[in-house]
Structures are given as C-alpha cells and as structure tokens.
C-alpha cells in the first residue's frame, strides 16, 4: 500500500510539473527576468527604494491610498492612567534611536509603486517625528471603547509618512479614582507581522515571549538541498489537495459585498481563563494543537450566527468552511527575534461547519492543521507561492480580484493565535496589563470573510478580538452578541463535551435533566436515569429531582419528568457579561443531608425527605481494583452481584485474597453500605470473608467506583469521613483501604481523613485506584496525579498507586503492550511526585488492574496479554496485580457484548485467576 501511495504521488507531481513547465515555463522565466530588471532599475534610480520581499506583499496588491486597510496591530488595556510623555520617550529610546535603526528600519518606510510593482520607500532618519505618529484622546461618558478602537484601526495612514501609528486612549475615571487606559499600535502588513507586534510589546513591557512556534522553532539548521528539492517536487500535489476540493463556482449563500465596500467593520472583544481551555485540551488529547481549539470556537460562533440569522436556511450551510490562518515557518527559517518584518506564512484549515458538535469541529480542525504542517503547507506558501505571486505586477492582481471567477470557499473566515508569555503579568510603565487585543484588520485582502479574528494568550487568560462582515453583523450590538452569546455558548458546550469524553466520566446531558452522558474512550453514550430521577453531577449519580437544580435559569424545572425518563428543560447556564467570554461552564447545585453529632440531620441548603429505599442507579461500568502491601494478587469481587460466592471461587482456584467492591454512601448519608444498599455488616457478604480469613486470606476494601454514591461526597467533615473509613475497615477486618477515584472528590478532605486514620492506626495501608488517560500519558491529571500530589501534601502514606489499565488508547498495536506501556507511564509520573524515592521502591508502590476480555472501547485483554503482564510484573517486582472482575472470569458469553458476568471471549472458568496466580 505504501508503494502504491508513493507511486501515485510521483505520477501526480510528474504530470503536473510536465504540464506546468511546458505551458508556463517560458513565460514564467520571462516574467522572473522582468521582475528582477524592474527591481534593479528602481533601486538604482531611487536610492531610497528597497525591494519588498515576497512575504511583504503576500496579501498586498496596491499602495495604501488604493488598498487602504491592510493593517495589523494591538490594543493593550492597562489598569491606571498612562503617562503619554513617558510612553513616547520610552518608544523613542527603544525603536527610533540611531543605534537601533538596522533592527527597526521598517518603521521608516512607506509604500510606493514603480514599474507596476510595489517598493518600500525609506524616510531619512532625522526626518521622522514621533509626534506625526502619535494621537491621544479621552473616552466620553457612555462611549464604547471598542467602537473607538475599531474606527481608529480602520483609518487610512497619512500619505507620505511611514505606515504606522500609535495612540493613547484614556478611559473614564471611576469613583475610586481608578481608570482603564488603552495603548494602541497599528502598522501596515508590509512592514510587520503578528510576532513583530509581540516583539514591540515585549520591549515596552520588559517581557520575553516564547518563539511563535514553540521551542522547536529555535532549530535553525535549515533544510538540506535534497529536502528542499523534495518539498519543491511535492508542491503541485500539496497545493492541489488543499485547493481543488474547495473550489466552488456557486454558493447557496446570498451574495455579500466585498469587505472593501464598507467604511467600518464592527469589532468585539472578549476574555476567558486559560486553564479551562488547557483542561479542554488535556481531555481531548495531548496531541491537540492549541490553535485548533481557538479556530473551532470561532467557526462554531459563525455557525450559530448563520442559524440565528434569516440570511440562510439551515440546510444551505455547507459541510465545511475554510479558515485562513497565519502560522510560523519552523525549522531553519526562524522568525527574526529582534527585527520587525513580515515573516509569517499562512494556510487554509478545513473545519466542519454544519455539525452541531463543538468537539467534532475542533478534532477535525486539528487533523487539517496537522496535515497542513506535516505536508509543509506553510513552508510551501512562504517559500514558493509567495514568490510566484510576487512576480506578477499589481494590475494583474487587480484584474483577478475584480473577475472573481473562481471562489475559494466563498464564506470563509480568518483567525490567528498570537503566543505570549502565558504566566507573566505584563506591565506597561509599571501599570498592570489586563487585556491584550490583537487586531488583524485586513479587510481589503479577504474579500468575503465572515469573521476576522485573533487571540492572544497571556497571564493565564485568552483575549479574543473579532471583526465582522457588516452584511452579517451590521452594528456593534450584533458583534457583542457574537462574543457574549455565540462564543460563550460554544465554549460552554465544548467544556461539557470534553468532560464527557474523559473515559469513565459521567456528565449531564445539557439538553435533558433525566439523562447523563457516559464516555467509553472516545465514544459518547447518552443514557437515561430510571423513571422519576434526575442526574446529579455533584455526586455523579441519578438522584431525586428535589436534590438537583435543573431546568430554567438555575431555578425550577420547565416541565416535569415523564414516565419514560425523559424530561424537557436542561441545565442552567451561568450569566456572561456582554463584553467578555467566561468559560464558566454550566453550573449545577445539589442538596444533600448529613448526620450531625447528635444523630439528627443538618440541612446543607434545604430540607429533603429521602425514602427508605435508595433509587435504582444505572449499572456502573467495570471498575478497577485496589492494592495493598500484603496481598500480591487481589482480583475485584463485586459483593452485590449474583454469582459464585468467595468460598466457591476458592474451592475451584485456591484464591483467597480479594478486593471487595464497593463500600459506598447511602440514603442515610455518610453511613457506609455495600453498593449503597446493603448493611456494611451484612452476614451474607461477610460470612464468606470470615471463612477465607480463617484460611489465611487477605482482603482489600474498595470505596468509590464509577457510579457511587461516594460516601466521600456525603461525609461533610474530615472527622466524619475518617470515621466512615474506620467503620469499613473494621467491618471487613482488614487494614487496607482502597479509594477508587472515578469522579471528582474533595482532595483535601479525603486525604486529610486518610492521614488521620493512618495516624490513629499506623499499620493502615492506603491505595489509590486511578484512571488512565493514554498509554503514553499515564494517569489523568484531575482524577489522577493531582489526587496523589494532594495526598503527599496532606501527609498520606500512599502504599499503592493502582492504575486502571482499561478503556484507553495508545500507539501499541497489541493491547497487552498498551497495558504495560501505561503502567510504565504511570511509573514515570510517580517519579515526578516522589522524586526522593528510588525506582525499586516506586515499583513496589505500583499496581496494575486490567479489565478481562472485551473492554467498552472494543479493546480485548486476552489470556496471552495476561501472561505477558504477569511476566513483566515478576521481572519488575511491582506491588500489586488485580483485575476486574472475578464475576467476569468465565466464557459464558463468548463473542457477545459487554457483561458484568462474563468476559465476552472464549476462555475457561477462572482461567485468568490461574494465570495471575503466577505473580509471585
């Protein structure tokens, strides 16, 4: 297959180059000679002219008087009053001094046309006056700063002066004497690009931002001759693959005027915290590029606009849209760090538009972005396509624009991500910078773009700025709606989708109170609660409706639940300020009761009468085991499941060490019960336990699990929770407690309670059973490593870290190798948490727990995989092996679906127990 693909690629490029060279080779050679002749004549006849590079004029076809708005810049919002004279002095020292002329010579240039081509004309050093480029004004009461900023960015540059301007905009002083001021800077795209603006801001604030493409951008070795030749050879195929599928001669969309026909494009600004966006990235996969999230959000907002407008019907929305973006050219062509230049390249990213799924949009965007980078798309644009456009005179570009024969994805969008120092508080003249809005206002370059936008990541936040097509967004109010409603909604839905897609998570269905979403690896499944119940996200269980606020705007339900378990109404959303985007996701509140010291009940928020019988809950997915310092192999045994007893399993296998699952909370609050229903001292459960203990058996008692209810949630104080742990340990007669974390917990309360138990009972063994995110990643952050770091902080002696090596993916083709690979990744994470411990000691703390047979994500853990795992565990002398579960260790449903009572593969009874008993 690989040979055929290479052959196909070779034939496509060979045919394309043959046609191109035969038809266009001679005229292109003549055109190249003519361009260089014009360059030579212009620079010889005019000593102040310099040649524009291909990238300088990539989007520029005319002088500013004919193509006036092709501008970039930034708007910095600071807390306090900017001293204009100090700012001008600082700017003059940094950028306009004679010793810095070579770095900032573009600040002395305007744009002229000679011989049909564009050239930069340089102003003599002594003739540049900062006063000609500086403005200052004060906002009047009630004036919207966004309107003023947008208007200023779209003003023409003064003729005969270098193509840049700066302004200080003073805000209205508030009652406390505090005000917000704004520093604005703009320049023509010929002179500088987005990272040049970052460089100016860095110099003014004394901050050093990262390279535009990350640390790999620092690789300046360049490409070899053969690498360059290979890229050049692939140009026809790469360009064709990105353009031909997206060319259209007609559109179902209504015609819209080019952006250049409008005097003013409205602008919107917004802000969200960076950490939730990072969390979305972690949950959707570590290979997800940050720009993919930003691009997907903008296209999602564009989709909502289309659906809510009367300009287009829903079925007329195309499957995909193209987003043009600026991207750095990496490896060998690094951005000049101390020079203002137009160096960045660009490309088109294909993003789903019709789908309602924010997650699907971002994941598909990421694939397109990866393909663009993998196939050197930005490098080809920077090195070859820009050069080709550079050869043609301005009149040729003007004719092509006016003909408008072929439309490349007519209603496209544009978005750029500007990287800055994310963890640093910027300060301008000592004033803290609150927001940085970059403005990519190239309205004469993108004739049909619906939205032009830019994001800036800094100081643990993301600032957005958007300019809209006036046919879609006719005024400032319409643009405010984009930011306060459409972007906010897209962020909120994405946060919920991302949370839902972390394996094992249970999250609310945003459209139905009586449903919840379960994710098995990357597959989302909407499941109903039993009739009459609503999903309670605080406890990750189905609960009585009066314990959960769901419906209207955070108040009462819009309608009651029907018998089928369906419900109209959905989860209440947070309120978002009109000028900002907050990624505060859907807010849920619940009411619980907990016993007080006197034996009564103390209200958490309102009085709720709970029936004697707890509601039936959705069946939990298979759960992982626990670990201990005494049993080496202790498979999970579901104490509430019908099937062979512990003594019968022992009679057939000789196995007498087990993990008992699960001790949970109940309708009585903090009082532990088996499965949330059976008394913790139930003789039917503990009788077989006692029999095996007489024979030398050891037991681990597990709390938590996939569904709950966790008594960790229902015990409201550290003392109550510590008491609950001791009740469970005493009931079983063991010193080993395992906390299985598959829902968020109060880390401090849980770990302080465990530390208290260990202090009172020094021989108590504590293990944590935690979820695996990926083979090459290890434990999930929030439900994994953060729990362990908190345990260490609170003084818990964690004896076993037991990863659930189930329902995850990875690069290994063999799932047995994936299980071992995940265990190795967890071991590396443990080294970071306990650097003071040696590798041998950490291995003694490591457990591994796979799920027998078929997993929910389709992976199958076989007998051969088990043998491989046992062999690796013996070689490395890890602390514990277990599996989920004893009840599944049979072949009673070979070839069938997932079942709690069989493995769904062909096997003998208790075959896995016998294999795992080889772990010594």
CA–CA separation, 295 and 325 (whole Å): 9
In sequence order, the β-bridge partners of residue 466 are 268, 453
Predicted local confidence at residue 569, as pLDDT? 36
What's the chain's average pLDDT? 79
For residue 611, what are its two tokens? Answer: 């029936």
- Distance, C-alpha 510 to centroid of its chain: 20
Q: Are 236 and 17 in contact (CB under 8 A)?
A: yes
Question: Is the predicted pLDDT of residue 693 greater than 60, yes or no?
Answer: yes
For 384, the 3-state DSSP assignment is helix
Predicted local confidence at residue 222, as pLDDT? 59
Question: Is the predicted pLDDT of residue 507 greater than 70, yes or no?
Answer: no
CA–CA separation, 435 and 425 (whole Å): 10
Decide the pairing of beta strands 699-705 and 658-666: parallel
Predicted local confidence at residue 771, as pLDDT? 92
pLDDT (tens digit, 9 = 90+) per residue, 376-403? 777 777 778 888 889 999 888 888 777 6
What is the separation, in whole angstroms, between the first and last Cα of the chain?
46
Any idea which of 119-123, 207-211, 773-777 has the lowest mean pLDDT? 207-211
Please tell me what DSSP assigns to residue 804. Answer: E
Confidence grade of residue 254 (pLDDT, cut at 50, 70, 90): low
pLDDT (tens digit, 9 = 90+) per residue, 61-77? 888 888 888 888 999 99
Question: Is the predicted pLDDT of residue 869 greater than 70, yes or no?
Answer: yes
pLDDT (tens digit, 9 = 90+) per residue, 756-765? 999 999 999 9
How many residues belong to the chain?
920
Q: Are 779 and 789 in contact (CB under 8 A)?
A: no
Among the listed residues 298, 265, 271, the one whose alpha carbon sits nearest the alpha carbon of residue 482: 298
Confidence grade of residue 239 (pLDDT, cut at 50, 70, 90): confident
Phi, psi of 798 (to 5 degrees): -80, 115
Q: Are 412 and 448 in contact (CB under 8 A)?
A: yes
| Mean local confidence (pLDDT), 602-626 | 31
Q: Are 819 and 860 in contact (CB under 8 A)?
A: no
| E strand or H helix at 867 | helix 863-876
Predicted local confidence at residue 529, as pLDDT? 64
Question: Is the predicted pLDDT of residue 593 greater than 50, yes or no?
Answer: no
Which strands form 512-520's sheet, in the order they lie side by side?
506-509, 512-520, 523-528
CA atoms within 13 A on the CB side of 611: 8
CA angle 900–903–905, rounded 5-degree value: 150
Confidence grade of residue 689 (pLDDT, cut at 50, 70, 90): very high
Look at 448 and 618; give whichever has higher pLDDT.
Answer: 448
User: Can you tell me which residue has the tokens 């997650």?
Assistant: 359
Among the listed residues 871, 872, 906, the one whose alpha carbon sits nearest the alpha carbon of residue 889: 906
pLDDT (tens digit, 9 = 90+) per residue, 509-554? 666 777 776 655 455 556 666 556 677 766 666 666 767 766 533 3
Decide the pairing of beta strands 461-468 and 267-273: antiparallel
- Distance, C-alpha 560 to centroid of its chain: 35
Predicted local confidence at residue 890, as pLDDT? 95
Any idea which of 144-148, 222-226, 660-664, 730-734 has the lowest mean pLDDT? 222-226
pLDDT (tens digit, 9 = 90+) per residue, 799-811? 999 999 998 878 8
CA–CA separation, 490 and 308 (whole Å): 14
- 710: which residues sit within 8 A by CB, 6+ positions away? 539, 540, 664, 665, 703, 704, 743, 745
Question: Is the predicted pLDDT of residue 361 greater than 60, yes or no?
Answer: yes
Predicted local confidence at residue 787, as pLDDT? 95
Predicted local confidence at residue 585, as pLDDT? 28
Predicted local confidence at residue 758, as pLDDT? 96
- 876: which residues sit within 8 A by CB, 6+ positions away? 843, 846
Phi, psi of 12 (to 5 degrees): -60, -50
Predicted local confidence at residue 602, as pLDDT? 33
| Mean local confidence (pLDDT), 265-269 | 89
Question: Is the predicted pLDDT of residue 459 greater than 90, yes or no?
Answer: no
Question: Is the predicted pLDDT of residue 820 greater than 60, yes or no?
Answer: yes
Percent of the chain with pLDDT over 90: 37
Question: Is the predicted pLDDT of residue 271 greater than 80, yes or no?
Answer: yes
For 747, the 3-state DSSP assignment is helix
Task: Burial-class residue 524 by CB neighbours within 10 Å (0-12, 13-18, 19+).
Answer: middle
Question: Is the predicted pLDDT of residue 348 greater than 70, yes or no?
Answer: yes
CA–CA separation, 73 and 63 (whole Å): 19
- Number of continuous H segments (helices) and E segments (strands) in the chain: 23, 37
Q: Are 312 and 254 in contact (CB under 8 A)?
A: yes
Q: Are 587 and 572 in contact (CB under 8 A)?
A: yes
Percent of the chain with pLDDT over 70: 78
What HEC string does 888-911 produce?
Answer: HCCCCCCCCCCECCECCCCCCCCH
Torsion of CA 206, 207, 208, 209, to 10 degrees: -140
**How many CB atoms are located within 10 Å of the residue 131 CB?**
7
Q: Are 467 and 114 in contact (CB under 8 A)?
A: no
CA–CA separation, 307 and 313 (whole Å): 7
For residue 839, what are its two tokens? Answer: 């590798």
Q: Are 184 and 74 in contact (CB under 8 A)?
A: yes
**How many CB atoms are located within 10 Å of the residue 758 CB?**
21
Confidence grade of residue 857 (pLDDT, cut at 50, 70, 90): confident
Most confident of 57-66, 592-601, 863-872, 898-907: 863-872
Question: Is the predicted pLDDT of residue 665 greater than 60, yes or no?
Answer: yes
Question: Is the predicted pLDDT of residue 606 greater than 50, yes or no?
Answer: no
CA angle 696–700–706, rounded 5-degree value: 150
């Amino acid at each position: 297959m690989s040979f055929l693909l290479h052959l196909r690629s070779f034939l496509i490029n060979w045919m394309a180059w043959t046609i191109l060279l035969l038809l266009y080779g001679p005229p292109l050679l003549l055109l190249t000679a003519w361009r260089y002749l014009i360059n030579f004549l212009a620079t010889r006849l005019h000593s102040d002219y310099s040649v524009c590079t291909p990238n300088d004029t990539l989007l520029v076809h005319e002088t500013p008087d004919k193509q006036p708005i092709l501008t970039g810049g930034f708007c910095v919002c600071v807390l306090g009053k900017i001293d204009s004279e100090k700012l001008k002095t600082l700017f003059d020292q940094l950028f306009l001094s004679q010793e810095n002329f070579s770095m900032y010579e573009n600040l002395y240039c305007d744009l002229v046309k000679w011989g049909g081509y564009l050239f930069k004309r340089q102003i003599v050093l002594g003739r540049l006056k900062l006063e000609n480029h500086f403005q200052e004004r004060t906002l009047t009461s009630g004036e919207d700063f966004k309107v003023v900023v947008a208007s200023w960015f779209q003003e023409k540059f003064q003729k005969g002066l270098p193509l840049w301007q700066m302004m200080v905009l003073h805000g209205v002083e508030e009652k406390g004497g505090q005000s917000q001021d704004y520093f604005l800077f703009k320049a023509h795209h010929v002179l500088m690009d987005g990272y040049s603006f970052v460089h100016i801001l860095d110099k003014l604030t004394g901050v050093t931002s990262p390279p535009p493409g990350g640390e790999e951008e620092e690789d300046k070795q360049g490409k070899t001759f053969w690498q360059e030749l290979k890229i050049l050879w692939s140009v026809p195929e790469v360009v064709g693959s990105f353009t031909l599928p997206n060319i259209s001669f007609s559109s179902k969309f209504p015609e819209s005027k080019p952006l250049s026909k409008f005097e003013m494009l409205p602008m919107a600004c917004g802000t969200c915290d960076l950490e939730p966006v990072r969390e979305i990235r972690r949950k959707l996969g570590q290979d997800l590029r940050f720009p993919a999230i930003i691009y997907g959000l903008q296209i999602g907002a564009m989709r909502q606009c289309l659906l809510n407008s009367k300009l287009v019907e829903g079925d007329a929305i195309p499957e995909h849209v193209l987003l043009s973006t600026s991207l750095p050219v990496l490896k060998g062509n690094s951005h000049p760090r101390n020079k203002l230049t137009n160096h960045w390249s660009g490309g088109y990213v294909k993003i789903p538009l019709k789908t309602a799924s924010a997650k699907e949009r971002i994941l598909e965007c990421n694939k397109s972005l990866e393909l663009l980078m993998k196939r050197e798309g930005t490098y080809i644009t920077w090195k070859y396509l820009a050069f080709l456009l550079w050869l043609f005179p301005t009149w040729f570009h003007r004719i092509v624009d006016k003909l408008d024969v072929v439309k490349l994805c007519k209603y496209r969008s544009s978005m750029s991500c500007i990287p800055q120092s994310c963890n640093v508080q910027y300060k301008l003249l000592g004033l803290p910078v609150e927001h940085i809005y970059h403005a990519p206002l190239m309205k004469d370059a993108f004739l049909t773009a619906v939205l032009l936008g830019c994001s800036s990541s800094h100081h643990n936040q993301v600032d957005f700025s958007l300019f809209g097509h006036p046919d879609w967004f006719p005024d400032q109010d319409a643009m405010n709606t984009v930011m306060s409603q459409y972007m906010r909604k897209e962020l909120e839905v994405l946060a919920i989708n991302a949370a839902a897609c972390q394996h094992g998570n249970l999250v609310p269905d945003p459209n139905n109170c009586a449903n919840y979403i379960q994710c098995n690896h990357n597959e989302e499944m909407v499941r109903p609660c039993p009739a009459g119940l609503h999903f309670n996200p605080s406890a990750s269980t189905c609960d009585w409706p009066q314990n959960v606020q769901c419906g209207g705007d955070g108040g009462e339900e819009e309608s009651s639940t029907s018998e089928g378990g369906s419900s109209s109404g959905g989860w209440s959303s947070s309120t978002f300020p009109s000028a900002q985007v907050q990624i505060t996701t859907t807010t849920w509140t619940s009411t619980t009761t907990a016993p007080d010291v006197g034996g009564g009940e103390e209200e958490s928020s309102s009085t709720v009468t709970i029936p004697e019988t707890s509601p039936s809950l959705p069946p939990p997915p298979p759960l992982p085991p626990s670990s201990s310092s005494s049993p080496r192999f202790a498979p999970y045994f579901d104490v509430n499941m019908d099937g062979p007893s512990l003594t019968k399993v022992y009679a057939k296998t000789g196995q007498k060490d087990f993990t008992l699952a699960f001790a949970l909370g109940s309708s009585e609050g903090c009082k532990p019960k088996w499965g949330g229903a059976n008394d913790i001292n139930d003789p039917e459960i503990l009788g077989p336990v006692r029999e095996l203990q007489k024979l030398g058996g050891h037991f681990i008692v597990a709390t938590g699990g996939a569904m709950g209810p966790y008594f960790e949630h229902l015990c409201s104080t550290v003392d109550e929770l510590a008491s609950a742990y001791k009740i469970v340990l005493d009931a079983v007669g063991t010193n080993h407690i395992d906390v299985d974390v598959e829902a968020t917990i109060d880390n401090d309360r849980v770990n302080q309670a465990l530390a208290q138990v260990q202090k009172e009972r020094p021989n108590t063994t504590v293990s944590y059973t935690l979820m695996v995110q990926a083979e090459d990643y290890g434990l999930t952050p929030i439900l994994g490593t953060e729990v362990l770091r908190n345990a260490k902080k609170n003084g818990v002696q964690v004896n076993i870290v037991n990863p659930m090596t189930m329902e995850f993916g990875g690069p290994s083709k063999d799932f047995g190798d994936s299980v071992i690979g995940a265990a190795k990744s967890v071991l590396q994470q443990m080294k970071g948490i306990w650097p003071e411990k040696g590798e041998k000691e950490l291995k003694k703390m490591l457990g591994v727990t796979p799920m027998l047979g078929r997993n929910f994500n389709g992976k199958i853990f076989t007998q051969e995989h088990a043998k491989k795992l046992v062999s690796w565990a013996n070689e490395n002398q890890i602390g514990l092996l277990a599996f989920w579960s004893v009840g599944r260790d049979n072949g009673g449903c070979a070839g069938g679906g997932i079942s709690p009572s069989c493995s769904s593969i062909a096997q003998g009874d208790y075959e896995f127990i016998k294999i795992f008993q080889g772990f010594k």
